[in-house]
Amino acid sequence: GVDCADIILMLIYTGFRIDELLSLTPFSVDLSSGIITWGMKTDAGRDRAVPIHSKILPYVKKWLARGGDTLICNPQGKRYTAGNFRNKHYYRALENIGVSRLPPHSTRHTFASLAFEAKIDTLAVQRIIGHADYSTTANIYTHVDSKYLKKELEKLN
């Protein structure tokens, strides 16, 4: 199978849906500006500008170098379908790295939760993830754990 830990990181650091990442073409990636312009499903999510985080830049370059029809492509340079990728590669990769079997969409929740903990501007998070309203991001996608809540509470004097 494909070693796709890098793809999982790309999902987490872009906030893309699995279908969005798998349908990205090389033309969507502008390395000179460090921006991926892509997105589907909603008006707010369509053709949004998503910065390429420095942690995933090497992986984006690696996949671009494959020269496929899509950024993430099979060895023949063709697009993976979400179902095929999820069942043949994604779940196996999670198992290999010791992560519980969560659906690919959970990477969007991880993105939103990490962005919240890092105190990234809410408008930026909303635009990157492609939600029309930040309340969707905050109320559905952002998960905080008790360790984070304890750390925040300790800020009280």
Q: What confidence tens digit (pLDDT) does each residue in 55-76 have?
A: 999 999 999 999 999 999 988 9
pLDDT above 90: residue 43: no
* Residue scoring higher pLDDT (45 or 142): 142
**pLDDT over 70, % of the chain:** 77
Task: Please count the other Cβ atoms lying within 10 Å of the Cβ belonging to residue 81.
Answer: 14
Helices (H), the chain: 5-14, 18-23, 57-65, 82-85, 91-96, 106-117, 122-129, 134-136, 146-153
The whole model's pTM is what?
0.78
Catalytic residue set: 17, 41, 105, 108, 131, 141
Class of residue 19 by CB neighbours under 10 A (exposed 0-12, middle 13-18, buried 19+): middle
